[in-house]
Structure 1
Amino acid sequence: MDAADEERFREFVSARSPALMRLGFLLTGGDQHAAEDLVQIALAKLASRWRRVETPEAYTKQIMYRQQISWWRASTRRGEVVQATPPELADRDANHQSELRMVLRTALARLTARQRAVVVLRYFEDLPEQEVARVLGCSVGTVRSTAHRSLARLREIAPELAQELEVVK
């Protein structure tokens, strides 16, 4: 990588790292360290192919999706994630959005890895069902049924999100 390529790579990393960390955080179910690892692995792979990549952000996200899937497949069993439940939201004040994010993070962590991946790719990354199916290596029907079951599970484990999830139906 020459100096100009290195400078463009540094600019990309500095500009897109926060968005990539958010995606990593969602894909890993709220595990900050795993999200950092995921982003670092993706950026290292991107750096090695920087000159040949036309759309660096899409390429990096694809690496992140595939790396996370590899981790899921390699792990034999995950333990239960125990987290405190935030208090009931009495009114929709200035802290409401922050509280919803915390509730959503906790709820996402309680989904299975596949359910979480479908929800993140479909609703946070706003990918069409066909693209989600391609990324995860499954059928469109599997994506649809998993999304349906995942949203139902989110409504069950986080009733305070029910109003927000009604928009997703």
Structure 2
Amino acid sequence: MKKLLFTLAIPALLASCAPAVVGAQSYNPVALETPLSVVRVAPGQSLFVQIKYPRNMLGVPESLFDAVVINFAQRAGVGDVASPENRADWLKMTASDLPKGVNVELIQAGLMKDIRRTRDKTDSVEVSFSEVVRVVLKVTAQPDAELGLNLAELNFTGNGVDDSEMLSLSVEK
């Protein structure tokens, strides 16, 4: 009997360790390569998407990034400095020009110093970074959503920001 229970427990244990599907949860979003990349969603699907907008693209004042501090003692890997991020709960977004049956909502926003390269020198650490606004969006297509490629408009506001960006959405089976 113990052998049978052990045999049944192994597949259940392995299934519980299965990796999460990218885009199915807000903590594991699909990362767009550029803000202009196409978001592909199927009817009846919800997809979490991460977009990194350059600071100037959204008009975020440089002064807001002063509070995002690089910790040179905290390393993400061998010699790599971690990219620091501060939440930007003040950033709001509304979407317009969405295809029928599609909804886009802002789940999370942060101001990030996105570390591109770290180089250790004899008496210092040199980093190259860009200042970005990282957003996580939830894109939901109803089962009867209109198929095809559309351009939606995302309107960002808050703390001196008042900007609009286009979002390419493709609803496809």
- TM-score normalised per structure 2: 0.29
Give the structure with higher Rg (CA).
2
